[in-house]
């Protein structure tokens, strides 16, 4: 992908565009069903949410119908990579780059994912999905075991993006990373704050993660004290 690639200004909505909301919603839900099950946690969730938001709110002009269709149908890392090759100057290109980074993350290729997220940040300095790439980098740090960087990154994201819909995912990541560092009390405070908030969008996820980590904690304690 050429570093000089950029996102063209969105074309004006046409009368035909406004007549297709039901088709657009169906395409967005199909995308969620296809990508959702393997990516229930982490930045992959954020990417899927972002893709759906843009699929609903960003219409396509006829000239980029092929790129849009290719993106809707893509399922594998290779297919997202092909979109970057075939359609480098369409609004689908940055989405494909994020999806490719997410795919590499799910495959455990954290260095590759990190490089792709950094490429996104370099290539698309004004893109509204930059926060997803930023958080993706921190999730790569967490997954690779660089807990110091993860704690710092999640905390920095929460401070710099107040009110962003990704902040709850950063909270969860920070809690996990603190627990992994042995800072159980700090992790517990974060989880309990999320669990005690009936309006928290990821309350159930926080409950499940905290129960899982507590089970691990008890298992480790039983091994130390048979």
What is the tens place of the pLDDT at every residue in 151-187?
Answer: 999 999 999 999 888 899 999 999 999 999 999 999 9
- The pLDDT score that the predictor gives to residue 70 is 82
Q: How many domains does the chain have?
A: 2
Does residue 115 sit in the same domain as residue 175?
A: no
Using CA atoms, how far apart are residues 175 and 177, in angstroms rounded to an integer? Answer: 5
For residues 80-99, average pLDDT = 88
Does residue 140 sit in the same domain as residue 176?
A: no
Quote the tokens at residue 149: 């960087």
Q: 215 pLDDT exceeds 70?
A: yes
Does residue 132 sit in the same domain as residue 178?
A: no
Does residue 132 sit in the same domain as residue 173?
A: no
Angle between helices 65-73 and 21-35 (to 10 degrees): 40
Provide the 8-state DSSP code for 64. G
- When pLDDT is cut at 50, 70 and 90, the band that residue 74 belongs to is confident
- When pLDDT is cut at 50, 70 and 90, the band that residue 217 belongs to is confident
With respect to residue 155, please indicate whether it lies within any of the assigned structural domains: no
Helices (H), 87-202: 92-106, 110-123, 130-143, 147-160, 167-180, 184-195
Does residue 86 sit in the same domain as residue 57?
A: yes
- Nearest CA-CA partner of 164 in 216, 189, 109, 201: 201
- The pLDDT score that the predictor gives to residue 25 is 46
- When pLDDT is cut at 50, 70 and 90, the band that residue 137 belongs to is very high
**Domain span including residue 14:** 1-144
Vertex 170: Cα angle to 72 and 197 (nearest 5): 105
Does residue 19 sit in the same domain as residue 98?
A: yes
Does residue 76 sit in the same domain as residue 133?
A: yes
Assign 161 to helix, strand or coil: coil
Question: pTM, whole model, 2 decimals?
Answer: 0.71
What is the tens place of the pLDDT at every residue in 185-204?
Answer: 999 999 999 999 998 888 99
Does residue 140 sit in the same domain as residue 169?
A: no
Q: Is 182 left (phi over 0), alpha (psi -120 to 50) or beta?
A: left
Between 24 and 38, the more confident residue is 24
Q: What is the CATH number of the domain that holds 128?
A: 1.25.40
Quote the tokens at residue 197: 């908030």
Does residue 14 sit in the same domain as residue 116?
A: yes
Assign 92 to helix, strand or coil: helix
- The pLDDT score that the predictor gives to residue 40 is 39
CA distances 178 to 160, 184, 210, 211, Å, are 19, 7, 12, 15
- The pLDDT score that the predictor gives to residue 15 is 33
- Which of these ranges, 53-57, 81-85, 212-216, has the smallest mean pLDDT? 53-57
For residues 18-41, average pLDDT = 45
With respect to residue 157, please indicate whether it lies within any of the assigned structural domains: no
């Amino acid at each position: 992908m050429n570093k000089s690639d950029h996102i063209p200004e969105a074309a004006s909505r046409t009368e035909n565009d406004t007549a297709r909301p039901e088709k657009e919603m169906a395409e967005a839900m199909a995308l969620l069903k296809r990508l959702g099950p393997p990516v229930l946690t982490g930045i992959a969730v954020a990417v899927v949410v972002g893709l759906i938001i843009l699929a609903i709110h960003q219409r396509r002009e006829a000239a980029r119908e092929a790129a849009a269709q290719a993106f809707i149908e893509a399922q594998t890392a290779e297919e997202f990579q092909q979109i970057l090759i075939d359609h480098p100057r369409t609004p689908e290109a940055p989405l494909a780059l994020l999806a490719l980074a997410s795919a590499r993350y799910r495959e455990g290729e954290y260095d590759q994912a990190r490089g792709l997220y950094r490429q996104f940040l370099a290539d698309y300095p004004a893109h509204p999905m930059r926060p997803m790439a930023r958080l993706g980098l921190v999730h790569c740090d967490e997954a690779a075991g660089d807990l110091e960087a993860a704690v710092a990154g999640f905390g920095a994201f929460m401070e710099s993006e107040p009110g962003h819909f990704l902040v709850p995912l950063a909270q969860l990541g920070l809690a996990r990373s603190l627990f992994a560092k042995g800072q159980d009390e700090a992790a517990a405070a974060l989880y309990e704050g999320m669990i005690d908030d009936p309006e928290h969008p990821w309350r159930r996820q926080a409950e499940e993660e905290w129960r899982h980590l507590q089970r691990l904690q008890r298992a480790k304690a039983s091994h130390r004290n048979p």
